[in-house]
């Protein structure tokens, strides 16, 4: 359980994290999303006791990180894949870490095996690829068999096999009712791994909820229809009984490719209305928003560093 | 400790081990870190080789460079300790700086502080491990150099037996001074977080500073600088004292052995205090 309350971090006059609140429950993989510079890493560093909050608190299992009895057994974190001395072997790096909590050498070998590092364990970290560095960081995070796991961009640099591995690993950790906090810029990866989302932008929480709620709250679900009789369809749909009973206003718009998009009704309702009016349809699909669309729409105004504003906004539509 | 949070999941996991890590565990971790770095081990070997080699060179060339007519413990012990001290103080200081600077440059300080959130423990453990490793190496070096060069000096009646006044103190002082340089390095490293900047400071405090201070025109500042700089004070720790001198004479630049120990100890205390304040208050 991670709890963050009115957490604020200021660097000089710049506010990196602005009074955010959230709770991450055990048994879920919680995705932590946001543009570069949104405050993700700063938040994670404050949870791990590395940065001191300007105000507010961050606790793990009800206690500030510095007050944990045996921190490696309670929280394991990967914040930076390069966080090992280049001149030391992966094995010795883990061994020195294990020594702080008297974690047996057998466990060091176990996490090396778990991370698939057996063949390079005695090689210097300096020669590692980014993917191998990530595996070493994950091995270090799991060393104490912690209840809470915090991973900042763990899939960067991993090969497809590694990405599959980490996805399965995180799902398994959540199934063991551990708390998993995961940040990533890879939306497809997040979609497949996380079941809860926290979106942060410019130091503030933009969305916090189950994955499907965040997506449906930030994107349109439309029914795409093709017909030769666009006017007939519009009339049939807009003045139908189902439209009158619909909880939200029904909107009909034409897409760039000539299709018609109807918002506010299900495919079944659209098909029913068209059939009743005798309008012939030759395509009927429900198009749900993706996490990527939801993310871009949520963070459209919060992106700190943006290359092509118009292009990004266009993609968010 | 089984907090309620642990039991809220569908399948509560067994309670985590609750043994609080001890300072001894942190010490062991820092020891593994030092011993597993080839560059650090090489630096220690470097102290040994330079110290032993330098003394042997001075001993072996005693005849060709002119044998002093009167036996002098000061000179003989100086030949034993100073070769190690001159270069060793820099190597030791940089080793101490590196033990911290490398953690910051590689980012492994994050891993270290996540494992040991009571941060000062990391500082104390690094200081102790550095002191023990460097002082241990330096002890082997000076006593090895003393034994190896003994025959050269004994041949001319210039030998400095361990029972001679101040001899043992100088040998032990030389080794302790190197260890203390490493600890000063640890403190400076925590303050500046950079091996390069820390190494420059160490170089200035041990070698460059004393040279510059002696080249400066005589003034109150240059006189004070000559007395308080780490290198000059350490030098006296490694030498046999001529009896009857004052404790400390800023005017003549005389530093007694006891004053040398005091000044170097002050450097250690100040560097550790500065490092502790920086480590405790700054974001990692």
pLDDT tens digits, B27-77: 999 999 999 999 999 999 999 999 999 999 999 998 888 888 888 899 999
Return d(Cα B47, Cα B35) in angstroms, integer. 16
Q: Give the nearest partner residue to B107 out of A82, A92, A177, using CB atoms.
A: A82
Q: Give the nearest partner residue to A71 out of B10, B25, B117, using CB atoms.
A: B117
pLDDT score recorded for residue A73: 94
Query: What is the greatest pairwise CA distance in chain A?
Result: 77
B107, A74: Cβ pair inside 8 Å?
A: no
A79: distance to nearest CA of chain B, Å?
8
Query: Chain B within 8 Å of A99 (Cβ-Cβ)?
Result: yes
pLDDT in tens, A176-217: 999 999 998 888 889 999 999 999 998 999 999 999 889 888
From chain B, the residues in CB contact with A65 under 8 A are 114, 117
Cα B283 vs. chain centroid, distance in angstroms?
Answer: 27
Residue pair A296/A187 in contact by the 8 Å Cβ criterion? no
Q: Give A 136-165 residues with CB within 8 A of chain B.
A: 140, 144-147
Q: What is the DSSP string of B12-56?
A: PPPPPP-PPPPHHHHHHHHHHHHHT-HHHHHHHHHHHHHHHHHHH
Residue A165 predicted with pLDDT over 70: yes
A255: Cβ contacts below 8 Å, ≥ 6 apart: A224, A261
Q: Give the nearest partner residue to B110 out of A83, A87, A177, using CB atoms.
A: A83
> What are φ and ψ of residue B81, in 5° steps?
-95, -40
A235: distance to nearest CA of chain B, Å?
51
B114, A70: Cβ pair inside 8 Å?
A: no
Residue A219 predicted with pLDDT over 60: yes
From chain A, the residues in CB contact with B111 under 8 A are 83-84, 93, 97, 140
Residue of A nearest to B115 (CA): A72
Return d(Cα A135, Cα B57) in angstroms, integer. 51
Return d(Cα A89, Cα A132) in angstroms, integer. 12
Q: Give A 164-193 residues with CB within 8 A of chain B.
A: 176-178
Query: Chain A within 8 Å of B2 (Cβ-Cβ)?
Result: no
Query: Chain B within 8 Å of A77 (Cβ-Cβ)?
Result: yes
Give, in order, the Cα–Cα distances in Å from B278 to each of A41, A49, B119, B145. Answer: 22, 15, 11, 39
* B45: nearest Cα among B86, B95, B80, B82: B95
Return d(Cα A39, Cα A206) in angstroms, integer. 12
Residue pair B131/B180 in contact by the 8 Å Cβ criterion? yes
Query: Which residue did the predictor score with more confidence, A229 or A110?
Result: A110
From chain B, the residues in CB contact with A101 under 8 A are 17, 19, 21, 25, 115
Mutate to test the interface with B, among A82, A90, A99, A128 (most CBs of B within 10 A): A99
A55: distance to nearest CA of chain B, Å?
14
Return d(Cα A184, Cα A194) in angstroms, integer. 10
Quick one: tokens of A172? 């398994």
Q: Give the nearest partner residue to B32 out of A48, A49, A95, using CB atoms.
A: A95
Query: Chain B within 8 Å of A84 (Cβ-Cβ)?
Result: yes
Q: Give the nearest partner residue to B36 out of A25, A52, A92, using CB atoms.
A: A92
* Residue found under tokens 């032993």: B52
Alpha-helical runs (H) found in chain A:
40-47, 71-74, 90-99, 105-114, 130-142, 160-175, 187-193, 211-218, 230-238, 241-245, 267-277, 291-298, 309-316
Return d(Cα B64, Cα B62) in angstroms, integer. 6
Return d(Cα A124, Cα B268) in angstroms, integer. 33
pLDDT in tens, B254-280: 899 999 999 999 999 999 999 999 999
pLDDT score recorded for residue A217: 84
Residue B230 predicted with pLDDT over 70: yes
From chain B, the residues in CB contact with A45 under 8 A are 283-284
Q: Give A 262-301 residues with CB within 8 A of chain B.
A: none
From chain B, the residues in CB contact with A140 under 8 A are 111
Return d(Cα B84, Cα B74) in angstroms, integer. 16
What's chain A's average pLDDT?
89
B13, A177: Cβ pair inside 8 Å?
A: yes
Query: Chain B within 8 Å of A52 (Cβ-Cβ)?
Result: yes
B117, A74: Cβ pair inside 8 Å?
A: no
Q: Is A234 helix (H, G, I), strand (E, B) or coil?
A: helix
* Candidate from A247-251, B35-39, B126-130, B271-275 with smallest mean pLDDT: A247-251
**SS in 3 state form for B53-113?**
HHHHHHHHCHHHHCCCCCCCHHHHHHHHHHHHHHHHHHHHHHHHHHHHHHHHHHCHHHHHH
pLDDT score recorded for residue B68: 82
Return d(Cα A48, Cα B126) in angstroms, integer. 22
Return d(Cα A1, Cα A148) in angstroms, integer. 7
Q: Give B 93-152 residues with CB within 8 A of chain A.
A: 102-103, 106-111, 113-118
A70, B21: Cβ pair inside 8 Å?
A: yes
Q: What is the pTM of this model?
A: 0.87
Domain spans, chain B = 24-65+72-281
A25, B8: Cβ pair inside 8 Å?
A: yes
Average pLDDT over residues B201-219: 88
């Amino acid at each position: 359980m991670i709890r963050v309350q009115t957490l604020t971090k200021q660097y000089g006059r710049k506010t990196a994290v602005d009074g955010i609140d959230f709770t991450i429950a055990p048994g879920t993989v919680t995705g932590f999303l946001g543009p570069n510079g949104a405050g993700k890493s700063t938040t994670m560093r404050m949870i791990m006791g590395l940065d001191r909050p300007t105000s507010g608190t961050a606790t793990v299992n009800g206690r500030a990180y510095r007050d944990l009895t045996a921190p490696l057994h309670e929280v394991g974190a990967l914040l930076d894949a390069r966080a090992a001395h280049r001149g030391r072997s992966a094995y010795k790096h883990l061994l020195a870490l294990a020594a702080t909590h008297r974690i047996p050498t057998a466990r060091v070998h176990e996490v090396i095996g778990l991370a698939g590092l057996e063949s390079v364990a005695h090689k210097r970290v300096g020669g590692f690829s980014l993917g191998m560095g990530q595996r070493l960081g994950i091995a270090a995070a799991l060393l104490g068999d912690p209840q809470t796991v915090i991973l900042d961009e763990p899939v960067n640099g991993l090969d497809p096999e590694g990405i599959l591995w980490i996805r399965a690993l995180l799902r398994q950790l959540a199934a063991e009712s551990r708390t998993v906090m995961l940040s990533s810029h890879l939306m497809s990866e997040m979609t497949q791994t996380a079941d809860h989302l926290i979106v942060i932008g410019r130091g503030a929480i933009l969305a916090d909820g189950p994955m499907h709620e965040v997506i449906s709250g930030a994107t349109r679900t439309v029914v795409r229809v093709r017909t030769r009789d666009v006017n007939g369809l519009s009339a049939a749909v807009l003045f139908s009984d189902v439209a009158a009973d619909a909880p939200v206003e029904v909107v009909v718009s034409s897409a760039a490719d000539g299709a018609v998009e109807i918002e506010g009704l299900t495919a079944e309702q659209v098909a029913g209305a068209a059939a009743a009016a005798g309008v012939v349809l030759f395509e009927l699909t429900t198009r749900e928003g993706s996490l990527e669309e939801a993310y871009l729409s949520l963070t459209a105004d919060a992106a700190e560093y943006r290359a092509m504003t118009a292009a990004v906004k266009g993609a968010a539509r | 400790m089984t907090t309620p949070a642990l039991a809220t999941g569908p399948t509560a996991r067994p309670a985590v081990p609750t043994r609080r890590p001890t300072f001894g565990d942190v010490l062991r971790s820092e020891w593994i870190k030092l011993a597993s770095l080839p560059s650090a081990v090489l630096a220690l070997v470097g102290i040994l080789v330079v110290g032993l080699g330098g003394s042997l060179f001075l001993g072996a060339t005693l005849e060709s460079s002119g044998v002093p007519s009167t036996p002098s413990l000061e000179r003989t012990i100086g030949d034993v300790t100073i070769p190690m001290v001159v270069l060793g103080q820099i190597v030791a200081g940089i080793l101490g700086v590196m033990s911290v600077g490398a953690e910051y440059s590689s980012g492994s300080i994050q891993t270290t502080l996540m494992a040991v959130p009571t941060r000062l423990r990391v500082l104390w453990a690094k200081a102790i491990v550095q002191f023990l490793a460097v002082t241990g190496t330096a002890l082997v070096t000076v006593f090895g150099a003393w034994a190896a060069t003994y025959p050269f000096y004994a041949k001319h009646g210039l030998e400095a037996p361990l029972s001679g006044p101040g001899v043992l103190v100088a040998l032990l002082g030389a080794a302790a001074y190197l260890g203390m340089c490493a600890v000063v390095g640890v403190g400076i490293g925590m303050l500046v977080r950079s091996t390069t900047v820390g190494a420059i400071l160490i170089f200035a405090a041990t070698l460059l500073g004393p040279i510059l201070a002696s080249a400066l025109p005589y003034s109150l500042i240059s006189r004070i600088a000559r007395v308080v700089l780490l290198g000059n004070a350490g030098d006296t720790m490694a030498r046999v004292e001529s009896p009857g001198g004052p404790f400390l004479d800023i005017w003549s630049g005389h530093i007694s052995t006891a004053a040398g120990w005091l000044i170097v100890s002050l450097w250690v205390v100040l560097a550790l205090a500065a490092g502790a304040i920086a480590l405790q208050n700054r974001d990692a």
